[in-house]
Amino acid sequence: MDAVREVEPQDFDRVLSSMCTEPHPVARDAAERFLATNPGDPGTYPQVAELEREAISLLGEVAGLEDPAGYVASGGTEANIQAVRIARERADSRTPNVVMPESGHFSFQKAADLLEVELRIVPTDDDHRADLAAVRSCVDSDTALVVGVAGTTEYGRVDPIPELGRVARSVDAMLHVDAAWGGFVLPFTDDEWHFGHAPVDTMTIDPHKMGQAAVPAGGLLVRSADLLDHLAVDTPYLESTSQATLTGTRSGAGVASAVAAMEALWPDGYRRQYVRSQNNAEWLAEALEKRGYEVVDPTLPLVAASVPRSTFDALRARGWRISRTATGELRVVCMPHVTREMLASFIGDLDRLEVR
Ligand code: 0PR
The candidate with the shortest Cα–Cα distance to 146, out of 218, 182, 97, is: 97
pLDDT of 293 reads: 97
Interacting residues of 324 by C-beta distance below 8 A, sequence separation 6+ = 312, 330, 331
**Cα 317 to chain centroid, rounded:** 28
State the Cα angle at 106 between 103 and 108, rounded to 5°. 95
- Burial class from Cβ neighbours inside 10 Å (0-12, 13-18, 19+) for residue 3 reads exposed
- Confidence bin at 20 (pLDDT 50/70/90): very high
User: What is the 131 CA–ligand 1 centroid distance (Å)?
Assistant: 23
User: What is the 208 CA–ligand 1 centroid distance (Å)?
Assistant: 10
Q: How far apart are CA 278 and CA 272, in angstroms?
A: 10
Is the Cβ atom of 75 under 6 angstroms away from ligand 1? yes
* Helix and strand numbers, DSSP H then E, in the chain: 10, 13
Is the Cβ atom of 103 under 6 angstroms away from ligand 1? no
- Region 101-113 average pLDDT: 98
Q: How far apart are CA 133 and CA 101, in angstroms?
A: 11
Closest residue to atom 21 of ligand 1, CA basis: 19
**Cα 237 to chain centroid, rounded:** 34
Atom of ligand 1 nearest to the CA of 77: 15
User: What is the 19 CA–ligand 1 centroid distance (Å)?
Assistant: 6
pLDDT of 236 reads: 85
**pLDDT greater than 60 at residue 344:** yes
**pLDDT greater than 70 at residue 356:** no
Does residue 119 contact residue 109 with C-beta atoms inside 8 Å?
yes
Q: Which of 18, 19, 78, 215 to mutate to test the pocket of ligand 1 (most atoms within 8 A of CB)?
A: 19
Length of the chain: 356
Does residue 156 contact residue 301 with C-beta atoms inside 8 Å?
yes
50-71 core/surface letters (b: 16 or more CB in 10 A; e: else): ebbeebbebbbebbbbeebbbb
Dump pLDDT digits (tens) for 250-263.
999 999 999 999 99
- Confidence bin at 18 (pLDDT 50/70/90): very high
Does residue 182 contact residue 193 with C-beta atoms inside 8 Å?
yes
In angstroms, what is the C-alpha Rg of the chain?
A: 21
Atom of ligand 1 nearest to the CA of 215: 14
User: What is the 256 CA–ligand 1 centroid distance (Å)?
Assistant: 21
Is the Cβ atom of 159 under 6 angstroms away from ligand 1? no
Closest residue to atom 25 of ligand 1, CA basis: 18
The candidate with the shortest Cα–Cα distance to 68, out of 219, 207, 224, is: 224
User: What is the 68 CA–ligand 1 centroid distance (Å)?
Assistant: 24
The candidate with the shortest Cα–Cα distance to 317, out of 352, 266, 274, is: 352
Is the Cβ atom of 154 under 6 angstroms away from ligand 1? no
**pLDDT greater than 80 at residue 1:** no
